[in-house]
Structure 1
Amino acid sequence: MSIIMSQQNLVRRQIPPSHAQQKIFKGIRLNDDDKLLNAMTVAVTTSLSSMVGLGARNIVLLKFYDSALPFLTRQQCMAILARFQSGVEDAMALMDDQALPAEFHATVLKETNECIARLRMIIEG
């Protein structure tokens, strides 16, 4: 069973506004310049805070991954590879029900394939 995926598996969907964005922009008309500007500022600030948190988490996980991987045996990498592929398949099945941009799917594909390649390098020696 191989999880390596291609661009053919990616689906582009329109992303509906989040519940927070719906609350922020509710009742604002385009000619309400100050209200619209304030609502947009709140939305951008909220999105930026989320992105900063994800970036920080990504750095920590990458450093852990890079630190731990060299110490794994071939057998450990084989077990991790099987479990990783199964976990990614489960996550992708859940993502099928969500409206996510193609860039998200492309990044999942790229990162998954890079992890699999690094594990296979250790397995194959």
Structure 2
Amino acid sequence: MIPQRAVEQFLVFIKAHADNVNNSDFGMPLPDGSIGRVVPTLPIDAVWHAVLQHTEPYAAACEQIAGGFVHHIPILTEGMMDGTAVTFTLAALHGTGYRVDMEFWYGEAESCCPPNPPQPGNK
């Protein structure tokens, strides 16, 4: 069972994503040329994987919080490995105005998947 505090932090993460997804002045370049705004730590990514197994309530929560579905795109960038991405993420989390429980945001972000796994449609 996922602790309620972890789910709360995941929802703050989704809100931080929504607040910054279109902010051209915030974030860092990703390998595909897009801009990364927020990244999960391993505990938050574990929650993400769990909620993705329940697509209808996840999609509804995304719609309510972010205005649309938030896709999980497993990548691992240098910024994630060196902690830069977590710095951006923490700024975004605090910017939501919600409580940020640092127990879930300590350390570097890591990918839950192998570095740059194949994406659907690409071999």
- TM bin, normalised by shorter chain, reads under 0.3
Larger Rg: 1
Higher helix share: 1
The answer to which structure, 1 or 2, has the higher relative contact order (CA under 8 A, 6+ apart) is 1
TM-score (norm 1): 0.25
Using the size of structure 2 for normalisation, the TM-score is 0.25
